[in-house]
Structure 1
Amino acid sequence: MNASNAMLTAIRGRWAVAAIFLANGFLTGSWAPQIPVFLTRLEITKFTLGLLILLFGAGAVTAMTWCGHLISKHGSRTVLRWFGLCGSLGLLVVALAPNVPLAAIAMFIFGGSIGGMDVAMNANAVVVERRLSRAIMSSSHGFWSLGGFAGGGLGGFAIQHYGHLAHAAVVTALAFAVIAVAVRHLIAEDRPQATEHHKFALPANPLVYLVGLMALLTMISEGAVLDWAALYLRQELGADLAIAGLAYAAFSGVMAIMRFFGDGVRNRLGAVMTLRASALVAAAGMLIAGLSPSPWLAIAAFALCGFGIANMVPIIFSAGGNQEGISSGTGMSVVTTMGYSGILVAPSAIGFVAEHFSFGPIFVAMSGLLIVVLLMAGLAHRAEFAPDATPAE
């Protein structure tokens, strides 16, 4: 393959993985406005809802734990094809669940497919970065946030006017179509990584686990907005369903815009400085949201939080995928698994606290977690982009 054809293939692969980020975000964002309907349709408490969301996280973490091993054996392109096509069906399966036991199974499957898809698409984005010799991680996450913005912003309106099943069916059809086209153009690793993993094993490098801790603290905060912001606005600040859905939409929309500028900001300021500034802004937004007396101020505060969190996860994931002595798939698997453990642990804990107190203090506490990430930001120095020494041939 000559240099020009290799570059064209890499560019197609860049847009293919961006499309899958978009579809994943759209599926995740479309779940947020389904949550209040899910609560009332199954006639469950917020604590039970938290346990069901816990199963989503359990499914995600189960898939993520093995995803690095699968990528080492089969490559990120193949694994992403499997999980992407399965993941597009997850929301519809949840929306069809008629009772709590079947909803529990559906949530586990939905979480597993989305979680495996997440590891594989981030690992494939690292492959594209190396092939293009430039950073694309933040803008790839920008497409994810753009999908989340579309899913969250349109979802409340669609559910209110057409019902939750019609909404889930349309989301599924759109996501499946995008993923089915995109997977045909994904690029593969230049060389196999299976030599690192003849069998499943955890990496020995301790730094990857500290980077994973930063992902955990960041994604607990992000998950709190995804899973509980709509209920916070609806039940405690008096917003209707359509306005309540705007909380996550504002968060994701601002996040999307900032992520498209993120690669340039990181190249200019450096990964560590960008992460520190981002964590400070995100903490301020979360604090204001938790103290807000009105839904519109809370929506604006969640948007500010999205402004800050926007480039935190891409920088942390890029650091995880570029650790010394381990493959990008394995490093990404550890960091994303730990990050999504926030979605595993936080929902049930938040549901329990909200059952006895309120959501406001919870969001204030989330701001404290983001300050911890600020203090750990020096560990993200591996996110300073360095391409492969040998370009694609």
Structure 2
Amino acid sequence: MTDRIGLGARWAVSALFFANGLVVGSWAPKLPAMMARLGISEAVAGLLVLALGIGSVCLMPVFGGLVARRGSAHAAKLAAVLFTPSLIWMSLAPNVWTVALTVLVFGGLIGGMDVAMNANAVAVERARRRAIMSSCHGFWSLGGLAGAGAGGAVIQAVGETAHAVIVSMIVAVILALAFPRLLRDSPAGEHKHQPLRLPRTPLPYLIGVMALACMIPEGAILDWAAVYLQREMGASLAVAGWGFGACAGTMAVMRFLGDGIRRRYGAVRTLRVSAVIAMAGLAVAALAPTPPVALVGFGLAGIGIANLVPIAFSAAGNVPGLTQGIGLSVVTTMGYSGILLAPGSIGFLAEQTSFAVIYGGLSLLLLVPLLMSRLARTADFGG
């Protein structure tokens, strides 16, 4: 592969991350808007978030197998095309049951696209012999910042359906530019017909546990920060949308810096420092007396969370002896069961306690990746 082709592939996969982040970020302010439109409580909204997670966890292994058999570019294109109009489906759904169905499909396509685009990023890393995973996730965070930060104001200005159409059109343009430049990484002939089975080595499952603990707090901010700021702290919808926006913004900055930091200090040390910073940010958000202080806390949490997941995914994609799609599908399925399934229970817990208590408890969960940080050493490679 020439440097020119490699650079084109690097920016193409980054565009996929941005497009995915834009749609997922737009979900953050859309949830309280749907709650108001449908007249549902936090507990029912928790069921919607649970449906999103179930869909994602169900389709992640399917797309992991598709990556192993057909290559990540094929799988990513399929998921992205189906994923693009998903916000429109939700906006047009007339009641809670049809919304739940569209959210289930939305979650499945989030999961499928995530496995495929992360596998493509690992393939580009190998081809270029250079870490790019953190900056790819930086583009995802940049998209999340745009979607969450502007989403609340756009929904207030033009309505829920028009907002969904605008986002879908932007994503369609991005995909049209990115698809021709994606790295085509069809597996070698001997891999195409191998039976797909779960790994027998424990390492990907242990990395999956670490990813799970890293991603639950991120999911709690994505799905519930806007509700926390609006309902418990009295912020407007436009301000509440910046709960995840603040986190996504600092995540984007740190993820663009993360590849260089990892090359200089190593994956293990980077993960340890990141976990401590994330714990501090969640504690600030939990103890905040006003919305601006909570936004500072979510921003600080984003600095720490930023490089936890990219390091875990790089580690999973470089486990010796495993087909790339299979190792990544194990870790992404386990990790995203945290970001997508666990927040579904937060709505129920919030009715019994408060979001402040929940965010405080989640800061302690990050002791898990801190204690398991040695597993990240497979994310370090030469070149």
**1:142 pairs with 2:138:** yes
- 1:102-117 to 2 correspondences below 5 Å: 102-117=98-113
SS of residue matched to 1:33: helix
CA distance in 2, matches of 1:194, 1:363: 47
**1:99 pairs with 2:95:** yes
Query: Structure 1, unaligned stretches of length 5 or more?
Result: 388-393
Which residue does 2:216 correspond to in 1? 220
Q: Deviations along 1:102-138, whole A, 9 cap, x unmatched?
A: 1111001111111100000000001101111111100
Q: TM-score, normalized by length of structure 1?
A: 0.95
Q: Deviations along 1:64-118, whole A, 9 cap, x unmatched?
A: 0222211111000101110011111111111111111111110011111111000
Q: Deviations along 1:368-390, whole A, 9 cap, x unmatched?
A: 11122111111110000246xxx
Equivalent residues of 1:72, 1:192 under 8 A apart: no
Which residue does 2:180 correspond to in 1? 184
- Match of 1:126, as an amino acid? V
CA distance in 2, matches of 1:114, 1:229: 20
**1:383 pairs with 2:348:** no
Equivalent residues of 1:322, 1:382 under 8 A apart: yes
Which residue does 1:255 correspond to in 2? 251
CA distance in 1, matches of 2:190, 2:216: 32
Which residue does 1:390 correspond to in 2? none
Alpha-carbon spacing, 1:344–1:29, altered in 2? closer, same or farther (3 Å): closer
CA distance in 2, matches of 1:218, 1:298: 20
Equivalent residues of 2:72, 2:186 under 8 A apart: no
Query: Structure 2, unaligned stretches of length 5 or more?
Result: none
CA distance in 2, matches of 1:51, 1:198: 38
Equivalent residues of 2:17, 2:140 under 8 A apart: yes
Please report how far the alpha carbon of residue 16 of structure 1 lies from its aligned counterpart in structure 2 after TM superposition: 0.5
**1:310 pairs with 2:306:** yes
- 1:1-393 to 2 correspondences below 5 Å: 6-189=2-185, 191-192=187-188, 195=191, 198-386=194-382
CA distance in 2, matches of 1:322, 1:123: 11
CA distance in 1, matches of 2:339, 2:3: 37
Equivalent residues of 2:25, 2:146 under 8 A apart: yes
Q: Deviations along 1:344-367, whole A, 9 cap, x unmatched?
A: 431231111111221011001110
Q: Is 325-334 or 253-262 further displaced after alignment?
A: 325-334
Please report how far the alpha carbon of residue 29 of structure 1 lies from its aligned counterpart in structure 2 after TM superposition: 0.4
Equivalent pairs counted in the alignment come to: 383
Please report how far the alpha carbon of residue 191 of structure 1 lies from its aligned counterpart in structure 2 after TM superposition: 4.4
Q: Is 186-195 or 304-313 further displaced after alignment?
A: 186-195
Alpha-carbon spacing, 1:194–1:235, altered in 2? closer, same or farther (3 Å): farther
Q: TM-score, normalized by length of structure 2?
A: 0.97
